[in-house]
Amino acid sequence: MAHLDQKTRKSPQKGGTPRISHVLGLVNVVLFVVASLALVAFVNYGMRRHSLEEARGRSQVILQRNLAVHQYFNSQLKPRLFERLGQGGSVEPAYFDPTWMSSTYAVREINRIFYDNVENNDGLYYKEAAVDARSPDNEADEYERAFLEALRQNPSLNEWSGVRVIDGKPFFEVMVRGEAMEASCLRCHLDPDRAPADLVALYGPERSFDRFEGQLVSALSVRIPLAAAYANADRFSHRLYGVIGAVFIGLFALQWFLARRFVIRPLGTIQDKVVQIVHNESRLGEQVGSFDTLELNEVAAAFNSLSTNLKQSRDTLESQVAERTEELHHTNRLLEEDIRERQAVEDALREFSEFNASVINSLHDALIVIDAQDYRILSVNEVFLSEEGCLNEKGVLGRTCHEVIHGFSSPCFNDGRDCSLVRSAAAGEKVVVENEVQTPEGTRYKEVVAVPIKAADGKIRQIIHISRDVTERKEAESRIRELAYFDALTGLPNRRLFMDRLRQSMKMAQRRGKKLAVLFVDLDRFKNINDSLGHQMGDELLTRVARLMEECTRNMDTVARLSGDEFAIILEDVEHDDSPAIFAQRILDIFTEPLWVGGHQTYSSCSTGIALFPRDAEDADTLLKNADIAMYEAKRLGRNRYHFFSEDMNGLALKRLELENGIRRALLNDEFFLCFQPQINLDTGRITCLEALVRWQDPVKGLVSPGEFIPLAEETALILAIDEWVLRTACRQCRTWRDNGNPEVKVAVNISGMQFKQPKFIDLIDRVLAETGLPSECLELELTEGHLMDNIESTIMTLTDLKVRGISLAIDDFGTGYSSLSYLKNFPIDRVKIDQSFVRRLPEDGSDKAIVEAILALARSLDLNVIAEGVETELQLDYLKTRDCLEMQGYFFSRPCRVEELAPLLAQAAPYGQYGRAAVRL
């Protein structure tokens, strides 16, 4: 009954939601109003439409009448008038007032008289409108001008009609095509001088002239006022509104009376009965009487039946509640006894659980006890809670292990994962697995031990799950493996892993009857990049090249970094012997565009050697060695190319290796010695400088040419040790000559580009001068053009440091490199040496003569000294003397000499005086 009361109290009360009678009344009102408005609008529209049709008919009558007058005037009256005046036919017409020449004026006058005499015409008028009409009354207004323009553009257009509002009043207007200019009319309308003077004086000389024959000059316009007709329609509409309003009020009153009598009062009676029952439950079952309508009697019968049924249900429910209450009292007594028994058991279990918890929490590994049937967690230790970030056991107990540990919604084995719990339960023994776990900090590795716990019946009820974090151990193992098999800088396989893969690939190729290729790739002049940009930029370049090589290869191929700037590539399944060449060209194409490293634009290239299996070797070591030999051959041929291995290269490689070892041995065993070639000043005939030239006396081969060992020394960086030895030895010898009484002698030392770019080159110069005691002004350093142009800013700084120390600077082999005016202007150079290739064919060769003369003129303009190298004949001497080149060096004066051979020359005051300026032969 309380439930019934709660529902019924929510029933709508009086003044709440709208009554149905109100809704029906509102709908009827809206429908009536809409129908009334539609009726009035239709009647008003019909009356206005009738007025418009009537105006259209009147306008057509006026037009037809006026057109008839036009036709009669033009066809009957005008010819007679011309005939009487004697102005017809071909006779030139005499003066005649043009006012009576046109029917237009007659029609206009007739209409004026007619309409002025008609009462209440209310704006009805007829007009023939024209542009630039002689009479201002005929001047076309805005709409008429527009119609005339439309007529001229569209010859098929004859008429326009419609409603216009003028000064706030509606008019029906009809405009039709008027008359065109006739040839006879042009006598007065073409030229104002030919028109009657009184008309020109009356209307002005600017109107109605410059016409042409056939020109459309007028339009007929009729306006019928509609204001009165529209006002009658509006008055009738207002009266109709009044009639409809009265009918509406009467209908509304009748509806209200009937609704109150037959609907509102009966519904109110039923509502009052419902309210009484809601406020007084004892009245449940009371009935309402009958009403005047069949529908409301059916509603009352339904209400009476509902009231009776609710009373019966309430009585039944109360008896059932009493019976249930007695049963619950009995059950509560039994539960209290069970609770006391369970409490004793729980106390014993709690003590055992606390013991287990103390044992579990003493472990250093995460431990959980899991139900073997549904994988729900039964117990955990503190280490596990700490790893999972839980404050207490409530967050994990009762949840599944796959949900808590892995975040899965289903057991691990459903997704095909290796689950230690499943394996342990199936085997009935301890199982150890290793899992990879993704955490916000990254990937972690855990070693999991699963131990089953069996019940008395032998079935596995629970499983102990112990996990230990072994990430650090795995990382250490992975790091050891990477250090053993991968390059730390590029991440590519190192030499050890490369050789292992090469052996496996060779075995696979041999079984399948396939070929494979090994490419040995070495970056050209990589040391220059290291020396100029630093090792960090060099490392970035190596990493960049490694990535580009990986992009060029297939998944089955192997790219490895062997050491430094050396890379090796294994190409599997080589179909044709020339296939590796296509791939090698792809590697070369990597370097066609500049590589950006650390914000620097670098240009590089590579040399590649190719060896094929089984053609070139049958074991991995020999195959790689042969590819290395082919690479050196590619470098020897000019770099930036690839070369296949051939048997002839073995001998060249052995010879190169023997020569390189010989250079190292020569440095250790002091097998190098210096020769000095004099440089002569023809003004004085004296030796001004001695150029130090290194020579190698091999104990077995004898004298080795510098052209043979110097290029190899530059390739292998042994040139640095040779340069330092030459510099120190030359400075020591020059100091000895000065101490022996030759104070004017200087020594010139050639410096390689590699030595010049060393960061501590200036320190080396300072140290050698300090150790030998040679004054800096007695030392001249010779540099080639190409080496100076590699890094302009760094070169200028280094040359300036040398210059402020008093050291002379010379450009060797001038004219064979850049020969740039810019660097001659900016570099602190003392003199240039004309290369012997330009002197050798003097004076016969015209091109060499032009080059030599240009170098001499350039040096004079820049105030630089010039010395010519390679002077071997007297003709060359005489030619250069006549061009004011007075410093020379060459076999004509002296070959490079050992120290003991130079003693007589240094002792003479002017050993070459006979070749001085005075000896020039003209």
Supply the pLDDT for residue 650. 60
274 CB burial (10 A radius; 0-12, 13-18, 19+): middle
Residue 777 vs residue 419, higher pLDDT? 777
Between the CA of residue 421 and those of 62, 104, 186, 357, 731, what are the distances in Å?
113, 119, 121, 22, 83
Task: For residue 815, give every residue at least 6 positions away whose Cβ sits within 8 Å of its Cβ, in sequence order, or none.
Answer: 834, 835, 838, 851, 855
- Give CA angle at 786 (782, 792), nearest 5°: 95
pLDDT mean over 761-789:
90
Answer yes or no: are the C-beta atoms of 489 and 542 closer than 8 Å.
yes
The predicted pLDDT at position 456 comes to 75
Q: Who has greater pLDDT, 387 or 866?
A: 866
Q: How far apart are the first and last CA of the chain?
A: 149
Burial class (CB in 10 A: 0-12, 13-18, 19+), 867: buried
Q: Is residue 605 within 8 Å of 524, Cβ to Cβ?
A: yes
Structure confidence by residue, pLDDT tens digits, 98-110 = 444 566 666 766 6
Q: Do residues 736 and 711 touch, judged by C-beta distance below 8 A?
A: no
Buried b (16+ CB within 10 A) or exposed e, 334-368: eeeeeeeeeeeeeeeeeeeeeeeeeebeeeebbbb
Q: What is the DSSP letter of 639?
A: S
Q: Which of 107-116, 176-185, 359-368, 638-647 has the lowest mean pLDDT?
A: 107-116
Q: How high does pLDDT run on average in the chain?
A: 81
- Joined together, the tokens standing for residue 54 give 């009537």
Number of Cβ within 10 Å of residue 589's Cβ equals: 11
Q: How confident is the model at residue 703 (pLDDT cuts 50, 70, 90)?
A: very high
Give Rg (Cα) of the chain. Answer: 62
Closest CA to 759 of 803, 712, 791: 791
* Residue 121: per-residue pLDDT: 56
pLDDT score recorded for residue 672: 95
Do 696 and 709 meet the contact criterion of CB atoms below 8 Å apart? yes
**In the predicted structure, residue 258 carries a pLDDT above the cut 70:** yes
Of the candidate ranges 388-397, 503-512, 599-608, 702-711, the one whose mean pLDDT is the lowest: 388-397
Reported confidence tier of residue 88, pLDDT bands at 50, 70, 90: low
Lowest mean pLDDT among 172-186, 488-502, 727-741, 756-770: 172-186
Q: 150 near 164, Cβ under 8 Å?
A: no
Considering only CA atoms, which of 732, 789, 795, 730 is closest in space to residue 758? 795
Confidence (pLDDT) at 222: 86
pLDDT the model gives residue 86:
67
Q: Which pLDDT score, from 0 to 100, does residue 100 have? A: 46
- Residue 730 pLDDT greater than 50, yes or no: yes
- What is the rounded average pLDDT of the residues 276-284? 76
Q: What is the pLDDT of residue 920?
A: 41
Q: Given the DSSP bridges, would you call strands 125-130 and 218-225 parallel, antiparallel or unpaired?
A: antiparallel
**What is the average per-residue pLDDT within 887-896?**
93
- % of residues, the chain, pLDDT over 70: 88
- Answer for the pair 118, 109: CB distance below 8 angstroms, yes or no: no
In angstroms, the CA 242 to CA 246 distance is 6
Q: What angle do CA 284, 299, 259 make, to 5 degrees?
A: 120
User: Residue 1: its pLDDT value, please?
Assistant: 44
Q: CA 581, CA 577: separation in Å to the nearest integer? A: 8
* Predicted pLDDT of residue 162: 86
Higher pLDDT: 778 or 426? It is 778
CA dist 608 to 518, 574, 630, Å? 10, 17, 7
At 91 the pLDDT is 40
CA distance 630 to 510: 23
Structure tokens given for 704: 């080795």
pTM: 0.43
- Answer whether residue 122 shows pLDDT above 60: no
- 5 pLDDT exceeds 60? no
- pLDDT single digits (tens) 150-203: 888 888 888 888 888 888 888 888 888 887 777 777 777 877 777 777 777 777
pLDDT tens per residue across span 46-56? 888 888 888 88
State how far the Cα of 350 lies from the Cα of 347, in Å rounded to an integer: 5
Quick one: pLDDT band at residue 15, thresholds 50, 70, 90? very low
678 compared with 434, residue with greater pLDDT:
678
- CA angle (245, 248, 253) in 5-degree steps: 130
pLDDT in tens, 318-328: 888 888 888 88
| pLDDT of 807 | 94
Per-residue burial over 437-458, b if 16 or more Cβ lie within 10 Å, else e, is eeeeeeebbbbbbbbbeeeeee
659: closest CA among 726, 607, 724, 716?
Answer: 716
What per-residue confidence (pLDDT) applies to 260? 73
